Amino acid sequence: MVAQRRFLPLVAVLALALTLIALRLVQVQVGEAEVWGQEAANLVRSSSLVPYHRGRITDRDGTVLAQDEDRYQVAFVYREFRRGHPLAQVAHARAALELRAVPLGEALAQLEPWAAALVAITPAQVSAFARGEALELAGVAVPVSADPEAEQRARRASDLRWYAFELLHASPREQRELRFDEDDPRRARPLLELVAALRKQQPDVLRAALAQELAAARAGLAELAVQLVGELAGLELAGDTPAERLVDALERQRRAIEDACADALFEEAAGFPAGRLSAETLGRAFDLDWLAALLRWDGARLASWCAGRRTRYEGQLYGLVVPRLLARAAVEKEQGGKHPAARLLDGLAELYAPAGERARDDRPRSWTELRDLAVLSELDGRFEDAAPSSDYVAAEAVLPLNDPELQALAETETDPWKLLGLATELAGAQALDPQAPASGAEASARWAAHARRISSDDPLQRRELGWLVRGLEARLGAAVDRALLDLCTREEGETRLRFARGRLDLVLQQEKSLVRDAQSRPVLLCEAPPYPLVHLLASDTVRFRGFEVRPTTRRRYLVPGADGQPVGRLIVGSVRKPSLGELFAQIRDERRYVSLRYQALRDRAEDAELTELAGRLFRPDEWTGGAGAEDYFDPELRGRFGWHELEGLAGRKALTLGQPPVDGQDVELTLDIAIQRAAEEVLAHPELPDDPQTDEAWFRNPIGAIVLLTVEGEVLAAASAPLAPGEPQPGRGPERSFVRERTLTMPTFNPPGSVFKPFVAAFALDRLGYDAQRSVDCAPLAQGDRVGGHGDLRCNAIHGACELERALQVSCNSYFAQLGERFSDAQLDELEQTFGFGLPSGLRVFGTQGRSGLREEARIPRPEAQRAARESASGRRRRANGLVYVQANPMQVARGLCGLATGWLPEVSLARAIGGERLPPRGEKLAIGEPALAFVRHAMELVVHAPGGSGYLKGLDEAALGFRLAAKTGSGDYKAFQIDEQSSASDRSDEAEGRVRKHTWLGGFFPVERPKAVVVVYLHDTARTASHTAVYVAAQFLRREPVRAWLARALEAERQAGEAR
């Protein structure tokens, strides 16, 4: 039949279409099943991190110095609060009724009557309200609606019903059973009575239960407020009682969350953030009734949102975006990428490019490609009636960044800082802030000054970039305001722009998830809640819905020391959150990590890569090493977060998956915390010695360091002062203001002075074949001089004829000046190297690659101009006296002394064991013969124990200490006094007598007969020599009981080891 012939091809077309559909179905459901399965799992998976415990840090005896402590935080989740707390339920039901954001405070005042009215509503009233009819409830009369759809009556009615059921705890089944036909007479009965009837209860019983629950909710808020009173104290909150103040704080959170919802909804509709516009333009140019209706806002609330957008946007711009731009530029520079100025311009161009043209990865396009601008070129197609003309789209040269002339200049200009400066000038920054650079040249010069170290932490750089951004914002803002206000007034009179229906369709599609997302974000309410608060919230989660107790960890330093600081703070270090720079530096790795996580099929290498990345990448809220051992041993101390996941929503499946956290490894330090504390206490509060020649000013404001090493190189104590910033001493420089680790660093010019002489002597005896009996005359250089000297170097006294031993004992500069003349420059270099001067101490046991912390300054580069002076006879004289051309930190001096004391030059170690595994001792035999060393040791013993020795009768004798010490004092000239009106009389007198400020040292070992430890005391910026300063500090330290106790233990251990052998 003809007709059948006509239908057959159509059946074939249908079959073909269905076959195509089936193939596509196979592709999606089989070929892409893993991808979509993973996405689906993510949609119903709520995962949370389980924090790991960072490894503990202990001292050599197992005393815990630092450890992670389990603690809790209290967070506020508004969505849970809205859905589960009677106060929020009543407030939101009221908002649904009145179409205004009813404040929680107002709802609290009327909690009982409003709740009673809400549950007294009848299904018939709800239906009538949904249809647009009038409704009167608890004093509010909602009039008949002319446009129920526009007023969202159906949705509001549904919300009213939902909140009423929630107040009554109606189960889904009960709710279903309470859906009646239109003509059912039960529709006229209040919901409370209907629910009571279903439960076969008297309404009064249910009413009483509700009243009890409301009272409990009130009481709960009051209890909570009392516990949170400390947290609320700093906030300017309304209310007379703590509960009212708490509710006001919650109301603020609610407003912030609603603002965030509105921000997201507006941006979805407009394509750009509301904060891009001025408050006036935002409120005047757009029809935002849809937004107000969605969020149940009245005009005043909408106006308040409009008024706050620009301020918030600017806060983020200058507080977050500008530092990020700088951090990204710094990372790019470190990674050898683009010039930081070009990277800053690229970042700015990204900020002003239309959303669709922004780069999806972390590398923005070049700023020279910027043509269209955000907002201006995004107006087309956004609105219902007004069709923007190309006038608004033509954004060329609105900003310097898309000015073709400046972009063309980029091709020829070799200094990108000049381009950045020119952009600042063209943006008109100075017109907005007189402090901004007036010209491009000035701006580029300022930037060039920062060029060495671009940093997001530098307030000056943030201010410089902020000026440019402010100029760009002003120019774009003016153009946008012009364009929008012109669009509004283009038609008859002034109209408000209505978003295109299609755009609003998209917004409505996503509204639920956007609002849910914003409301579900936890807000930290209390960082360190007291135990009663944690107990209160954890024991009654139903009554306190919305308030969550979350586990977290805190690093605690357990041994308190001087001035309230933890003992060993500067060497043990501290933790911090990752910096912006660190987070940006790992962006690429992070993307790789995410892509691997979502990759359906991974091979073994990719699995290993994923594991490695998971362990290495920082999380923004993770504690990481900030300084000292915490920083250096961070890879060992750091653990790996665990995670657990709940699959399914609202606990329907509650299938728990996950991995436990991996805690970090413990690090056992070599420190003896009692000795460390003793050293810090002595340094922080040294006793003023009974010596008229001492430097009182230093003892009042001590700055310095003490190192105590075992002769194997283990650090028993490494103390620095000051531990807290103080006021600089007049005429003595600013070091007193700086808290820093001083045993490993040389923040100032740092010669060891006469402490260097024993090393010179040992080297001369062993390598140069120097005759120790050789006598040298220390005589005045000129008649009438009160001190001796040699060449251009003065001594501290007139010593007459000296042999080497006496020269060491009395620290004769003339002798060592003449001895220095016997050395060649190469020999002096070799001398330094032999004892480890200028070389890393070995404390950074795993090297420096990829590790920071325990910063060590082994050698300060000297200006080239000093080289010639150093290699002269005068230079050699000074080097042999440990002056000017010799630099050392206390740790290096201590290590060298270990070599002198034992003939073994150890690598200094701060860690004894990691993860329970002992680190082997490291070092080498000193290339100096024992006779020379023995000679020097004996001479150092005389320094302390023989008359004339610079340490004689200074409290370092065996009777005072309990052991016999061999030592050498040293004073290295540092700087001239800076005499001013505030300078002390003593400083004036010293300055008048030609004295200069010094670093003073004492370096020694004990006990002489069987050296077990080496001590170095270093005092910064004293007016008097070591024999009037450093020796007293050393004596005060070495007299401390922990030192003696440790020595006794060490000797006992040695005795037992000997017996065992």
Partner 1 sequence: MKERDPGASGGTLSGTFSPASVFSLRSVRWFELDWHVLLLALGMLGLGMLFIHAMSEADASAERGSDAVHFSKHLEKVLVAAPAMLLALALRPRFLRRNALLLYGVTIALLLLVQVVGENRNGSQRWIALPIGFDLQPSELAKVGVILALARVLYRNRLERAKDWGPPIAIALLPMGLVALQPDLGTALTLVPITLGMLYVAGARASVLVRFLAGAAVVGFCVWQFQIGVHDYQLQRIRTWLDGFHAEDLVAARGGPAFHSYHARVAIGNGGLFGQGLGEGVANQAGYLPERDCDSIFAVLAEEFGLLGTLGVLFGYGLMIALMMGSASAIRDRFSRLAAGGIAFYFAAQLCVNVSVNLGLVPMTGITLPLFSTGGSSLLTTFALLGLFLGLASHHEPSLDRDSFRV
Query: Which residues contact partner 1 by CB under 8 A?
Result: 1-4, 6-11, 14-15, 17-18, 20-22, 24-26, 28-30, 32-33, 35-37, 39-41, 43-44, 83, 149-150, 154-155, 158-159, 162, 172-173, 175-176, 179, 268, 360, 380-382, 500-506, 508-510, 512-513, 598, 648-650, 652
Q: What is the nearest approach in angstroms of partner 1 to the Cβ of residue 167?
A: 13
Q: What is the nearest approach in angstroms of partner 1 to the Cβ of residue 126?
A: 11
C-alpha neighbours within 13 Å on the C-beta side of residue 426: 18
- Cα 111 off chain centre by: 43
The residue among 200 and 501 lying less far from partner 1, judged by its C-beta, is 501
Q: What is the nearest approach in angstroms of partner 1 to the Cβ of residue 862?
A: 56
E strand residue ranges, 131-250: 135-137, 140-142
The residue among 160 and 217 lying less far from partner 1, judged by its C-beta, is 160
Q: Using the 8-state DSSP alphabet, how is residue 434 labeled?
A: T
Element (H, E) at 354: none
- In the three-class reduction of DSSP (H, G, I as helix; E, B as strand; rest coil), residue 644 is classed as strand
The residue among 334 and 362 lying less far from partner 1, judged by its C-beta, is 362
Q: What is the nearest approach in angstroms of partner 1 to the Cβ of residue 147?
A: 9
Q: What is the nearest approach in angstroms of partner 1 to the Cβ of residue 380?
A: 7
Give the pair of three-digit tokens for residue 96. Answer: 């649904």
The residue among 93 and 858 lying less far from partner 1, judged by its C-beta, is 93
The residue among 441 and 649 lying less far from partner 1, judged by its C-beta, is 649
Token match 């780069």: residue? 359
Buried b or exposed e, range 515-536, using 16+ CB within 10 angstroms: beebbeebeebbeebeeebbeb
Q: What is the nearest approach in angstroms of partner 1 to the Cβ of residue 21?
A: 5
Strand-pair partners of 76 = 523, 547
Q: Using the 8-state DSSP alphabet, how is residue 738 labeled?
A: -
Among 613, 611, 635, CA closest to 624: 635
C-alpha neighbours within 13 Å on the C-beta side of residue 306: 21
Separation between Cα atoms, residue 809 and residue 969, nearest integer Å:
9
The residue among 304 and 541 lying less far from partner 1, judged by its C-beta, is 541
The residue among 446 and 498 lying less far from partner 1, judged by its C-beta, is 498
Among 1009, 1012, 1017, CA closest to 1043: 1012
Q: Which residues touch 538 (CB under 8 Å, ≥6 apart)?
A: 549
The residue among 89 and 624 lying less far from partner 1, judged by its C-beta, is 89
Q: What is the nearest approach in angstroms of partner 1 to the Cβ of residue 359?
A: 13
The residue among 135 and 1030 lying less far from partner 1, judged by its C-beta, is 135
Cβ count near 36 (within 10 Å): 12
Q: Which residues touch 954 (CB under 8 Å, ≥6 apart)?
A: 944, 1027, 1031, 1032, 1035
The residue among 159 and 425 lying less far from partner 1, judged by its C-beta, is 159
Q: What is the nearest approach in angstroms of partner 1 to the Cβ of residue 319?
A: 24
Contacts 24+ apart (CB under 8 A), 986-989: 986/695, 986/696, 986/697, 986/1023, 987/697, 987/730, 987/731, 987/732, 987/1023
CA distances from 446 to 409, 426, 452, 927 (A): 20, 16, 12, 53
**741: left (phi > 0), else alpha (psi -120 to 50), else beta?**
beta
Q: What is the nearest approach in angstroms of partner 1 to the Cβ of residue 35?
A: 5
Q: What is the nearest approach in angstroms of partner 1 to the Cβ of residue 654?
A: 13
Q: What is the nearest approach in angstroms of partner 1 to the Cβ of residue 641?
A: 24
Q: Is the Cα dihedral 51, 560, 962, 689 positive or negative?
A: positive
Q: Using the 8-state DSSP alphabet, how is residue 606 labeled?
A: H
Q: Which residues touch 873 (CB under 8 Å, ≥6 apart)?
A: 791, 821
Separation between Cα atoms, residue 565 and residue 574, nearest integer Å:
12
Separation between Cα atoms, residue 91 and residue 578, nearest integer Å:
40
The residue among 18 and 976 lying less far from partner 1, judged by its C-beta, is 18
The residue among 39 and 391 lying less far from partner 1, judged by its C-beta, is 39
Give the pair of three-digit tokens for residue 735. Answer: 């070091």
Q: What is the nearest approach in angstroms of partner 1 to the Cβ of residue 499?
A: 9
The residue among 384 and 622 lying less far from partner 1, judged by its C-beta, is 384
Size of the chain in residues: 1061
Q: What is the nearest approach in angstroms of partner 1 to the Cβ of residue 322?
A: 25
Separation between Cα atoms, residue 1009 and residue 1005, nearest integer Å:
10
